[in-house]
Amino acid sequence: MRRMRFVLAGLTVLLPAVSCTDTLEKAAAEDGGEVMITLSSEARVQPVSKAGSAQVPTGEFTVEIFKLDGESEVRLYRDSYSNTEGKTIGLNTGDYRLYAYYGDPDAAGFDAPYYAAQTPFTVQAGQAETVSAVAKLSNVMVTVEFGETLRLDYPEFYAIVRSGEDASLQFGKDETREGYVPAGMISLELYANVDGTWKYFPSEPEEYSPNDYVAFRVDTEPASGEVSLKITVDDSVDLVEKEVSIPASMLPQNAPEVTFNGFTADGTVEIVEGQDISASMKADIVAGAGVAHCIMEIDSDCLSALGVPSEVDLVSVDGSVADILKANGFRWAGFSSGQRLAFIDITGVAEKLASEVYDDENPFSATVRFTVEDMAGQQTVSGEQGFTISAVKPEFSFSVQPTDAWARSIRGMEIGYTVGNPDCLKLQYKAAADGEWQDAGLSSDSGSLLSFNNISGLTPETEYQLRAIYNGNEAAAVQTSLTTEAAAQVGNSGFEEWQTSEFKFTYDIPFIGGEHNIDWYHPWSSEETDIWWAVNSRKTMPSSTSIISDNWNWVRFPTVAYTTESCQGSHAAVVYSVNVGDWLTSAALVGDRVAGELFIGTADDSGNHSSEGHSFGSRPDRLEFMYKYESNGGETFSVHAELYSEDGTVIATASTDSGSASSSWLRFSLPFQYTDKDRKAAKIYMSFKSTSASRPSVTGNKVITIADNAQYTGNFGSVLYLDDLQLIYE
C-alpha cells in the first residue's frame, strides 16, 4: 500500500552563488550553482477497513546528495531534512543524485515503515532547475486477520510472516496492527496447537514489490477440516486475491537439528594469524516447529575477559550483549521466535583471530555449545557436538651460512615453514649500523620452503642483519647477521707496473765466444714485494746458443712485454706468439713456436709454471678486461680463470678459447661459473695466452712495437693487448 507521498520540490539552481553561513559547499567557479531542498508529504487513500496512520514527519527524513562520475558516485552531503530545510548547498556544475529516506530497508516490525525517494538532477551554469520526487513506502505493509472458525477450532495459534530467509514478523492471535517487512518473496506460516502438538502450515512464497499492502486472511473450513489461507494484495491500483489450502496433517514431528559446517569431524578448528579464511564456519539449525529458545554457552577465558557472557539466549539477546558478541566476530540470524531456519556464524571469530598476533602467554581458545528448544517444547542439546576454535602459533625456520654473504649480495636465502600462511612470511634485511628493513623478493614456494631472490646492491665488507618475520610480528621474528665479502681486485690489474731486466745469454762456437744482452719485462715494479703476475718468456730465452745470428730476435726474444699504447692509464700488457731457434731464419719454418702467456703465479728459469694462483678471499661474478687482438692465421686467444677453496677445491671457473680479433679496444666479459657456492674462496688463478692453438702460427720478419715504442723485427704470431682488468661483483 502506498500510505503517503513525500514531494521533494524546488531544487533550484541560483546563479551567481550567494554568501551564506549555512552553505555546505561553495561553487568552485562561476559555472557553479546552489541547490535548495524542500520536502513535503501528503496522505493517500488508506486500504479498505484500515484506519489512517500518522504521517512520518518530513523533518525526520535523511537527505543525501551524490556526485555522479561515470559509473561511480561520491556522497557530498548527508543530514536530516530538519537541518537541511531552508539552506542553500553550493555545488559545481555536473550530474547529481538526490536520495531521501526514512527507516531501515532490511527491518521487519510493527513500527518499521521504510520510505525512500531518489531522483537525478543536473546543475547547469546560468539555469534554474526545479527537481521533485515522491517518497513512497519502499517495503511491504502486511496484516493478518484470523477467521472465527479458526478461533473456535484451535485455542492456541499464531502466524509468522516471513520475507526471504532473514526477516520475519510474528502475529499473535489477537494482533490487529499493521506490520512492515522487506519486499521480495513473502510467505505466511500458521502455527497451531492440535491436540497438544504444535503443527505448522506454510503458504507458498510469492514475490511482492515495494509499496504493496498484503492482507493475509486465515481461517478453517469446518466441513473439510482444512486450513484456508486467503491472501489479498492492495497496491492501490490492482487487487489480487489468492487462496491456499493446506491439510492439517502436514506436521513436522522432529526435534530441532544442529549441524556444524566448516569444522573438522571432531568439531575443532585451529586458526593461525594471517590465515586466509575462505570457508564459512557455521552451526545451522532446523526447527520444524519454530525456534523458541537457543542457549549458546561459551567457555573461553579470552572472550570472558572481553566481556562476552558465558551463556546467552539468541532469541532474546540484550542489545548491549549483542554488540559485544558482534564485536568479537559472532553473527546469527533467524532467531525471531517461531522461525524454523536459523544459523550461528563464527567465521568472523576466525577472521579476528587471523588478524591478531599470536600470544604465547595467553593463547586464544573458545568452546561453544548450543541448547535449542522449539515451540513444541522439544529440545536438542549439542553437547559433545559443540565446536572449539583456537589460535595456534605459526612455525617456521630460518638460518644462514657465512658463505651466503658475497661482496655485494646475499644469496641462497630460504625459509622453511610447517604451520602458517606462507603469504605472511617475509625475508627482510638492513645494514646493521643503520638503515630500514627492506623485503627480499620471493623466488618460489615449494609448499614447505620459500626461496628468495638474491639480495643485491649491498656494500662490501659491511655487516647486515636479516630476519624471517611472520605477519609483521617483530617479537617472534628469527634474526641473524652476515658480513659481506670484500670486492677485491687482483694486483696490478691495470698493468701499470713493469720492471725491465737485462737478460744475458752466451754464444759458444770454436775460436769465438761471447754474450748477447736483450731486455725482457716483468709485470711488477722494482719496489713491489707482493708479486701477482708471471710470464713464460724464458721458454723462448734459453741461456746459451751455439751460433752467431744476423738477427738475434730470431734466436732469443721474450713472449710478454708492456706497451704505452694503452686503453686506460699509461701502460698495457702485450702477449704474443714467438718463434725462436739457433738456426732460425726469416723463413720461420723451423724453431720453437711458443704462445705468449701472462698468468697469476710464478715461473721457473725455463718459463714453466712453478706455482699457480695468489691468495684471494672474494667471489666475483664476472671477469672483465679491455683488449685488442691481432690474429695470425685466424687464431683466437685464450683466457682461463679459477677460484679455489682453502682445501684446493675448484669452486668457480671463467674460461674461453674463442677470443676474436679486434683492431680497436673492446671490453670482454666472462662470467664465473660456480660449481660450489657453499665454500669461501681462498685463491685465484688467471691465464691469458696469445693463442689457443696447440702450435701457434708465425710470420717471418714481422714487426712489433713494444715497451716505449721500440720496434722489433722477428718471427712473431698473434698479438694480444690487455688493459683495465676488473673483477665484477653483483
The overall average pLDDT reported for the chain is 84
Please report how many Cα atoms fall inside a 13 Å half-sphere around the Cα of residue 490, on the Cβ side: 34
Residues 6+ apart with CB under 8 A from 538: 603, 604, 605, 606, 607
The hierarchical CATH code for the domain 395-483 is 2.60.40.10
CB atoms within 10 A of CB 230: 17
Which class would CATH give 140-246?
mainly beta
**Is the pLDDT confidence value at 649 over 50?**
yes
Q: What is the pLDDT of residue 380?
A: 84
Burial bucket for residue 38 (CB in 10 Å: 0-12, 13-18, 19+): middle
For residues 60-86, b (16+ Cβ closer than 10 Å) or e, as one string?
Answer: ebebebbbeeeeeeeeebeeebeebee
Q: Selecting from 3.30.1490, 2.60.40, 3.40.390, 1.10.3470, what CATH number does the domain 257-392 have? A: 2.60.40
SS (H, E, C) 154-210: CCCEEEEEEECCCEEEEEECCCCCCEEECCEEEEEEEEEEECCEEEEEECCCEEECC
| Pairwise CA distance, residues 277 & 482, whole Å | 37
Burial bucket for residue 536 (CB in 10 Å: 0-12, 13-18, 19+): buried
Give the CA distances from residue 603 to residues 343, 718, 725, in Å, rounded to whole numbers and listed in that order: 89, 22, 21
For residues 3-31, b (16+ Cβ closer than 10 Å) or e, as one string?
Answer: bbbbbbeebbbebebeeeeeebbebeeee
| Pairwise CA distance, residues 442 & 430, whole Å | 17
Rounded to an integer, what is the distance from CA 137 to the centroid of its chain?
46
Task: Report the predicted TM-score, pTM, of the whole model to 2 decimal places.
Answer: 0.61
**Is the pLDDT confidence value at 542 over 50?**
yes
CATH topology of domain 499-728: Jelly Rolls (2.60.120)
Q: What is the pLDDT of residue 688?
A: 98
Prior bond of 16 cis (ω within 30°): yes
Closest CA to 96 of 67, 125, 75: 67
The size of the chain, in residues, is: 730
- Kindly calculate the radius of gyration of the chain based on its CA atoms and give it in whole angstroms: 48
220 and 247 in contact (C-beta within 8 Å)? no
Task: Express each pLDDT in 32-46 by its tens digit.
Answer: 555 555 554 433 334
pLDDT band at 57 (very low <50, low <70, confident <90, very high): low
**Is the pLDDT confidence value at 281 over 70?**
yes
pLDDT band at 129 (very low <50, low <70, confident <90, very high): low
Task: Express each pLDDT in 328-387 by its tens digit.
Answer: 999 998 887 778 888 999 999 999 888 888 888 889 999 999 899 888 788 888 766 688
486 and 461 in contact (C-beta within 8 Å)? yes
How large a percentage of the chain has pLDDT more than 70? 85
Q: What is the pLDDT of residue 465?
A: 96
| Pairwise CA distance, residues 397 & 427, whole Å | 11
Task: Express each pLDDT in 687-703 by its tens digit.
Answer: 999 999 999 999 999 99
Residues 6+ apart with CB under 8 A from 647: none
Instruction: Tell me the residue type at 421.
Output: N
154 and 173 in contact (C-beta within 8 Å)? no
Residue 173 C-alpha cell reads as: 492471535
Task: Express each pLDDT in 573-586 by its tens digit.
Answer: 999 999 999 888 88
Task: Express each pLDDT in 398-407 by its tens digit.
Answer: 999 999 999 9
Rounded to an integer, what is the distance from CA 638 to the centroid of its chain?
48
Q: What is the pLDDT of residue 128?
A: 60
Residue 189 C-alpha cell reads as: 506460516
Residues 6+ apart with CB under 8 A from 648: none
| Pairwise CA distance, residues 253 & 199, whole Å | 8
Mean pLDDT for the stretch of residues 458-468: 97
**Is the pLDDT confidence value at 1 over 90?**
no
Residues of the chain with CATH 2.60.40.10: 395-483
Residues of the chain with CATH 2.60.120: 499-728
